[in-house]
């Protein structure tokens, strides 16, 4: 049995649903009042990937960030993948993904010189007040080298496991 240890970063503006995402994925719950401690912290999730492989995910959440700030290299060190999240009801959270991606591409570099695989998640797709169109997300995702983008709802549990499987698949294929 092979066990892969993967450090995954969860980045994006404050309030887009990052802590809820981690909590949902790791504990299977959506709790409106749940809030992770402020600062960088990680949660662990073990996946039975195949008959021969286990994957231990370390999910590092930049909790407590209200807007984009350049992260320290310590945070990026050793990371093999990234989940970038915005809120489809917030244009600014989408526009700031440009800054988050630039910071990531500058600091999270694999030994082969490529930047780490990153999946873009358009969260809160359960809400009717959506302002960011699928077309603009698609364009942004392609232009900035994301592995893929997906609509998610942490609230309704839409595409959460799917998104993580897609990212892990990409990481293990490199
Ligand atoms: P963070 O600051 O990015 O970690 O965001 P939180 O996880 O604290 O979530 C911010 C708010 O959005 C909370 O009130 C959550 O309950 C809510 N939220 C998170 N995901 C969803 C979702 O998919 N749909 C809806 N409607 N609300 C969500």
pLDDT digits (tens, 9 = 90+) for 48-93: 999 999 999 999 987 656 667 777 777 888 999 999 999 999 999 9
**45 ligand 1 Cβ < 6 A:** no
Q: How many CB atoms lie within 10 A of CB 142?
A: 10
The per-residue pLDDT for range 90-129, each reduced to its tens digit, is 999 999 999 999 999 999 999 889 999 999 999 999 999 9
| Residue 135 burial class via C-beta count within 10 angstroms: exposed 0-12, middle 13-18, buried 19 and up | exposed
Atom of ligand 1 lying closest to residue 35 CA: 8
87-114 core/surface letters (b: 16 or more CB in 10 A; e: else): bbbbeebbebbeebbebbeebbeeeeee
CA dihedral over 50, 163, 120, 68, signed as positive or negative: negative
Q: What is the mean pLDDT of the chain?
A: 90
User: Is any atom of ligand 1 closer than 6 Å to the C-beta of 15?
Assistant: yes
Distance 114 CA to ligand 1 centre (A): 31
Distance, CA of 171 to CA of 174 (rounded, Å): 6
pLDDT at 51: 95
Index of the ligand 1 atom closest to the CA of residue 14: 2
Backbone angles phi, psi at 93, to 5 degrees: -65, -30
With bands split at pLDDT 50, 70 and 90, how would you rate the model's confidence at 39? low
Query: What pLDDT is stored for residue 28 in this prediction?
Result: 83
pLDDT at 36: 52
Report pTM. 0.93
């Amino acid at each position: 049995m092979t066990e892969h240890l993967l450090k995954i970063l969860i980045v994006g503006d404050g309030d887009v649903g990052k802590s809820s995402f981690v909590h949902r994925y790791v504990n299977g719950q959506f709790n409106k009042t749940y809030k992770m401690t402020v600062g960088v912290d990680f949660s662990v999730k073990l996946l039975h990937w195949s008959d021969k492989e286990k994957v231990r995910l370390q999910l590092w959440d930049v909790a407590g960030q209200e807007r984009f700030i350049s992260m320290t290299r310590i945070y990026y060190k050793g990371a093999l993948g990234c989940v970038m999240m915005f809120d489809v009801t917030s244009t600014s959270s989408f526009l700031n993904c440009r800054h988050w991606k630039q910071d990531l591409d500058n600091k999270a570099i694999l030994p082969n010189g490529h930047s780490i695989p990153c999946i873009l998640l358009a969260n809160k797709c359960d809400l009717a007040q959506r302002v960011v169109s699928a077309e603009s997300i698609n364009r942004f995702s392609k232009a900035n080298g994301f592995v893929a983008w997906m609509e998610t709802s942490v609230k309704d549990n839409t595409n959460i496991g799917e998104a993580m499987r897609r990212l892990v698949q990409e990481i293990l294929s490199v």
